[in-house]
Amino acid sequence: ADERHALKARIKQLLKEKQAVLVAHYYVDGDLQDLAEETGGCVSDSLEMARFGRDHAAQTLVVAGVRFMGETAKILSPEKRILMPDLDATCSLDLGCPTDEFSAFCDAHPDRTVVVYANTSAAVKARADWMVTSSIGLDIVKHLHAQGKKILWAPDKHLGGYIQKQTGADMLLWQGSCLVHDEFKGVELELLRKEYPKALILVHPESPEGVVAQADVIGSTSQLIAAVQSSDAKEFIVATDNGILHKMRAAAPGKIFIDAPTAGNAATCKSCAHCPWMAMNGLQNLLHVLETGSNEIHVDPAIGKKAVVCIDRMLDFAA
Ligand code: 13P
Ligand code: SF4
């Protein structure tokens, strides 16, 4: 505990000295989330991370999350320096949607409006008409559907399927998934709900259909935390990365939070309920990048220029 305290104090001092700001996601280590809040940075969902980074005056952003979050920050602010604790922190959705194959998929369906999830590479975003995050994807597709647009959606099949069902839009889905949320199981959740009949079921829409179908609240990380804050329930079953429990517990002390069930357990399943790439962010490597200025994110400016269009569309829509 003493060592953690010393590391945090040193990081705070360096953020000040380097005039850098820390932007963290709810799935990273709780110490990093606290540091972001205590130092005037932000901890939030993907949409708010993008907006906060773009609007903040600091010329150095340290993004604690996964690669697409750092890339989005860079695309929105090419003049800023974007650092990340570990540049190898990626995402199974991003990995499962390689640029060449995606580009061929788009070429084969030129009549469709291309909507991609934030969890993609800069090059994939450069091919898209719209980028969305989980907090706003439903509203944007509703809007496009009302205009009579047919949609090509990538990469998350569960989020895409959920939005398709809700909106009735014509959506052609790429077949990607998040390796964390994919592990949540509907049948086991039904059994758990019988044990906790009063619990509110909170589900991130990257989860499989049978899990989403049992949800009381479906939403982005920020929306699920807001639901905890506004609910009178005493117990919650949470189907998303358990990094989020840090904030939920702080928001509602004394309440009970239960991980939604997965088929495996920690011994058999490396990614159960916690993202291995989010877990690569720690106090040590955060301190190291602040000391050395290493791990800077670069995006090919030509790709960034194309990719920014679909991100700006979302941010304008959200404004
Ligand atoms: P949100 O925080 O935008 O809900 O995104 C979840 C996610 O996929 C991060 O990995
Ligand atoms: Fe990607 Fe899932 Fe990890 Fe989020 S939790 S970064 S969607 S693999």
State the chain's mean pLDDT as an integer.
96
Residues 98 and 77 in one domain: no
Please tell me whether the peptide bond between 110 and the residue prior to it is cis, using omega within 30 degrees of 0.
Answer: no
Residue 94 CA, closest ligand 2 atom number: 1
Residue 45 CA, closest ligand 1 atom number: 2
92 lines ligand 2 (CB under 6 A): yes
pLDDT at 267: 62
Residues 8 and 70 in one domain: yes
Measured in Å, residue 107 CA sits from the centre of ligand 1 at 28
Residues 58 and 41 in one domain: yes
Residues 207 and 240 in one domain: yes
| Percent of the residues in the chain that have a pLDDT greater than 70, as a whole number | 97
Higher pLDDT, 203 or 267: 203
Q: What is the pLDDT of residues 134-170, one digit of tens each?
A: 999 999 999 999 999 999 999 999 999 999 999 999 9
Residues 145 and 123 in one domain: yes
**Pairing verdict, β 42-44 and 113-117:** unpaired
Residue 215 falls within a domain, yes or no? yes
The last residue of a domain, from among 147, 177, 207: 177
Measured in Å, residue 216 CA sits from the centre of ligand 1 at 19
| H or E segment to which residue 131 belongs | strand 130-132
Residues 186 and 227 in one domain: yes
Residue 268 falls within a domain, yes or no? no
| Residues having CB within 6 Å of any atom of ligand 1 | 25, 27, 45-47, 119, 133-135, 220-221
Q: 1 falls in which pLDDT band (50, 70, 90)?
A: confident
Q: What is the pLDDT of residues 76-87, one digit of tens each?
A: 999 999 999 999
Residue 173 falls within a domain, yes or no? yes
Residues 68 and 118 in one domain: no
Whether residue 281 contacts residue 85, with contact meaning beta carbons closer than 8 Å, is answered with yes
Q: What is the pLDDT of residues 252-307, one digit of tens each?
A: 999 999 999 987 665 666 667 899 999 999 999 999 999 999 999 999 999 999 99
Residues 197 and 213 in one domain: yes
Chain CA centroid to CA 125, Å:
16
The sheet that has 256-259: what strands, in order across it?
Answer: 217-218, 200-203, 235-239, 256-259
Measured in Å, residue 275 CA sits from the centre of ligand 2 at 6
pLDDT at 265: 63
pLDDT at 269: 65
Residue 266 falls within a domain, yes or no? no
User: Residue 82: which of 98, 66, 94 has the closest Cα?
Assistant: 66
Structural domain containing residue 206: 181-259
pLDDT at 54 over 90: yes
Residues 192 and 156 in one domain: no
Encoded amino acid at 287, one letter: L
- The tokens 């609910």 sit on which residue? 231
Residue 150 falls within a domain, yes or no? yes
The last residue of a domain, from among 123, 148, 177: 177
Residues 120 and 62 in one domain: no
Residue 315 falls within a domain, yes or no? no
Residues 142 and 157 in one domain: yes
Residue 314 falls within a domain, yes or no? no
- Beta strand extents in 181-312 (DSSP E only): 200-203, 217-218, 235-239, 256-259
Q: Binding-site residues for iminosuccinate, please?
A: 25, 46, 117-119, 134, 204-206, 221
The last residue of a domain, from among 146, 161, 177: 177
Measured in Å, residue 17 CA sits from the centre of ligand 2 at 32
Whether residue 11 contacts residue 18, with contact meaning beta carbons closer than 8 Å, is answered with no
Residue 252 belongs to domain with CATH number: 3.40.50.10800
Residues 97 and 81 in one domain: no
Q: What is the pLDDT of residues 100-132, one digit of tens each?
A: 999 999 999 999 999 999 999 999 999 999 999
* Dihedral sign from CA coordinates of 246, 252, 258, 260: negative
Task: Report the predicted TM-score, pTM, of the whole model to 2 decimal places.
Answer: 0.96
The count of domains in the chain is: 3
Residue 13 falls within a domain, yes or no? yes
